[in-house]
Structure 1
Amino acid sequence: MAEAPPTMVFVYGTLKRGFPNHPLLAASASPFAGAVSTAAPASLVIGPYSVPFLLPTPSSSSGRLISGELYSASPLALAKLDALEGTHIGVYERRRLTVVVDGSGEAVEAEAYFAHPSYAEALWRRCGGEAAEIGEYTMDHAARYVPPSGRSPGAAGLIDAIHGFLATTPDN
């Protein structure tokens, strides 16, 4: 039985080259396919632990084109990414989107990790809505990033932090 073909994956945060979780992609031999941006506006906010969250655009007036990178991930690499992103416990969900390759303008169908819909809109509001949206996760954001090893155990530590973050008000 032949192995499934690679999946094109759009990364926009800690998995980019030079960022804290990129070694996971490098170790899985997922080839870099180019610098890209989303074809349609989306919302990107920074949540607990300085973790970036790509959200479906909550309203027609908000959202930006999000910069990131495109990788070709094997089924094994995709399974490792799903584990990191906590898809099994509802932290993120992998969804299709179209990205545009910088320079060539070629449109490519890819998958990306979006905040789970069970909390996405509440997270957007709690982060400050449209005023908090960014177009790119930068090294300044990554400097405040807390890796999974510095949190409560595994991906569950992140979902617990999200729920706690949503339960507080901005001035608490």
Structure 2
Amino acid sequence: MVAEANQTIPTTFIFTYGTLKRGFWNHTLLQDLMRTGDASFIGSYRTRERFPLVCGPFQVPFLINSPGSGHIVEGEVYAVTNRGLGRTDELEGLSRGHYIRLPIDVEASEGGGVVAAEAYYAHPSYAMELWKKKKEIGGVISSYSEKEAKGYVKRKDRPQHLTFLDHISLFLSSSSD
């Protein structure tokens, strides 16, 4: 009933490709937003264009804003209210330089029209270096699956004396994946 009442509230379509998808660790945020009427599941979607999708430190997935490179990326679309968008922006660290949110065109996996959505991309301060490192070792993927998620480390279990950007810098300067 709450979701029905919120249908007139402005929403943004968010394309999720990693830990926010159903069955992955951060999906609990979207479940909370759906309970309050601040999000609704639209369906399974894929990018219209190819994009690099890679895993960085702690097996965190990153979409790289380089259309035409990489693969068609599989994911899900959610309609999210402005209040819900604030919570997803916080999770994705927009104000801390972890990700940026930009437009992306996606289409239903089972066929259908194109949806103008937004996605969280790796921040430009490290995105291309991360992609280059992963491309060299064949680490560009088309879908964040259980295989990639096996090595995912929850935020609470990561070393707390370094920031996430510190972890990215260390990851990029390391010689191995």
Q: Output the TM-score relative to the length of structure 1.
A: 0.89
Using the alignment, how far apart are the partners of 1:128 and 1:109 within structure 2? Answer: 28
Point out the more displaced range, 160-169 or 124-133.
Answer: 124-133
Q: Which amino acid aligns with 1:117?
A: P
| 1:96 matched to 2:103 | yes
Q: How many residues align?
A: 167
Q: Output the TM-score relative to the length of structure 2.
A: 0.87
Tell me the equivalent position of 2:171: 165
Among 71, 79, 95, the alignment partner of 1:72 is 79
Tell me the equivalent position of 2:25: 20
CA displacement 1:45-104 (0-9 Å, x = unmatched): 11100000000228x5x3110000000011111111111111111110000010001223
Using the alignment, how far apart are the partners of 1:86 and 1:66 within structure 2? Answer: 22
Matches within 5 A, 1:3-152: 5-29=10-34, 30-57=39-66, 62-129=69-136, 131-152=138-159
Q: Percent identity?
A: 40
* Secondary structure of 1:9 counterpart: strand
Note if contact 1:97-1:109 (Cα within 8 Å) is conserved in structure 2. Answer: yes
Gaps of 5+ in 1: none
Q: How far did residue 4 of structure 1 move?
A: 5.6
CA displacement 1:119-140 (0-9 Å, x = unmatched): 1110011223482210000012
* Secondary structure of 2:50 counterpart: coil
After TM superposition, where is structure 1 displaced by more than 6 Å over at least 4 residues in a row?
none
Q: Which amino acid aligns with 2:156?
A: S
* Secondary structure of 1:124 counterpart: helix
Q: How far did residue 157 of structure 1 move?
A: 3.0
* Secondary structure of 1:145 counterpart: coil
Using the alignment, how far apart are the partners of 2:73 and 2:137 within structure 1? Answer: 14
Gaps of 5+ in 2: 1-7
Distance 1:64 1:54, change over 3 A: same
Note if contact 1:45-1:52 (Cα within 8 Å) is conserved in structure 2. Answer: yes
Q: How far did residue 153 of structure 1 move?
A: 4.3
